[in-house]
Amino acid sequence: MNNIFQFTNQLSEQEIFETILNSKNVKIERIISTGQTTAEDTWYDQEEDEWVILLQGQATLLFFDNSSIHLKAGDYLLIKAHQKHRVTYTSFNPPCIWLAIHGNL
């Protein structure tokens, strides 16, 4: 048994991506962010939908259309495939714990 809030790795300056489940149709991962953001000249443009919930911390996402959303613990959203976005803020204390589900949702 595992616990989504316990860290097996030391927190560092790098985001931590841990795959929980990876099958033909879906990938579930835990992401731990400690202040990391997406580079200003970079946009995520994913091939699959991503449903994400922020379990701990706070974060801000910016979309290509210049809209943004601030997330706090418990907030979730669906980012459709090819909906360009980037992360402009993640809290350090507490660290952000994300649960992301990727697939054709």
Which tens digits make up the pLDDT trace of 17-67? 999 999 999 999 999 999 999 999 999 999 999 999 999 999 999 999 999
The C-alpha R_g of the chain, in whole angstroms, comes to 13
For residue 9, is pLDDT > 70?
no
CA neighbours closer than 13 Å in the CB half-sphere of residue 43: 13
What is the third-level CATH fold of 16-103?
Answer: Jelly Rolls (2.60.120)
Residue 99, judged by CB atoms within 10 A of its CB (0-12, 13-18, 19+), counts as: middle
Q: What is the pTM of this model?
A: 0.91
User: Which whole-number Å values give the CA distances from 44 to 5, 18, 93, 94, in the listed order?
Assistant: 26, 18, 25, 24
What pLDDT band is residue 96 in, cutting at 50, 70 and 90? Answer: very high
- Map out the domains of the chain as residue ranges: 16-103
pLDDT value, residue 2: 87
